[in-house]
Amino acid sequence: VVVKQFRGCDNHGERVFLLYELMVEPNLTRLFHKDGKSIPVFVTDHPVEVSPLARRQTREGGNPNLVDRFELFVHGRELCNAFSELNDPEDQAERFAEQVRKKERGADETMDYDEDYIRALEHGMPPTAGFGVGVDRLTMALTAQESIREVILFPLLRPER
């Protein structure tokens, strides 16, 4: 199964990220701990190929094959995904086009080409950044729950078993 997934990767960045997801991410709690307790881990320097909306590293010493993005893990669970927004319309248009090509080749997780967004970028967008927090996962960490089902905010939608 792993070999099939690896062969399905179109480029070096996707292969590196797949190896990270399969070998590193599941072991974050075991690898990063102090006094027997898991410590927060920030994962940075994601490949540009797996971050279609994030800005390339442009700072001095930065790698243009990587993006300004991080994920925060606590107790081995991703709590936050954050990145600097890509505001270069030409780079964004090429990344959207690559997402469309991936979709045509059968990739599951792709984005559509958003012409309106490209047009808005062409009018100018200042440097911005954003983050998303998984509220359910944060609640799990704060309440020491192992299952997300125990902290779902809408209990009527929660399966009884």
- Domain ranges in the chain are 2-87+129-157, 89-125
The answer to whether the beta carbons of residues 55 and 86 sit under 8 Å apart is yes
In the beta sheet, which residues pair with residue 43? Answer: 71
Give the per-residue pLDDT at 122: 96
CB atoms within 10 A of CB 91: 15
The predicted model scores a pTM of 0.78
**Whole-number Å distance between alpha carbons of 159 and 161:** 5
Give the pLDDT confidence of 6-26 residue by residue, as tens digits.
Answer: 767 778 888 888 888 888 888
Instruction: Check pLDDT > 60 for residue 27.
Output: yes
Q: Domain 2-87+129-157: what homologous superfamily?
A: Bira Bifunctional Protein; Domain 2 (3.30.930.10)
* pLDDT average, residue stretch 20-35: 85
Confidence class of residue 4 from pLDDT cuts 50, 70 and 90? low
The answer to whether the beta carbons of residues 87 and 118 sit under 8 Å apart is no
Residue with tokens 């779902």, as numbered in its chain: 152
* pLDDT average, residue stretch 143-148: 86
Give the pLDDT confidence of 86-134 residue by residue, as tens digits.
Answer: 999 999 999 999 999 989 988 888 899 999 999 999 999 898 999 999 8
Instruction: Check pLDDT > 80 for residue 157.
Output: no
CB atoms within 10 A of CB 64: 9
Share the mean pLDDT of the chain: 87
In the beta sheet, which residues pair with residue 83? Answer: 69, 130
* pLDDT average, residue stretch 21-36: 84
Q: What is the 3-state secondary structure (H, E, C) of the chain?
A: CHHHHHHCCCCHHHHHHHHHHHHHHHHHHHHCEECCEECCEEEEEEEHHHCCCECECCCCCCCCCEEEEEEEEECCEEEEEEEEECCCHHHHHHHHHHHHHHHHCCCCCCCCCCHHHHHHHHHCCCCCEEEEECHHHHHHHHHCCCCHHHCCCCHHHCCCC
Give the per-residue pLDDT at 129: 95
* pLDDT average, residue stretch 37-46: 90
* pLDDT average, residue stretch 35-64: 91
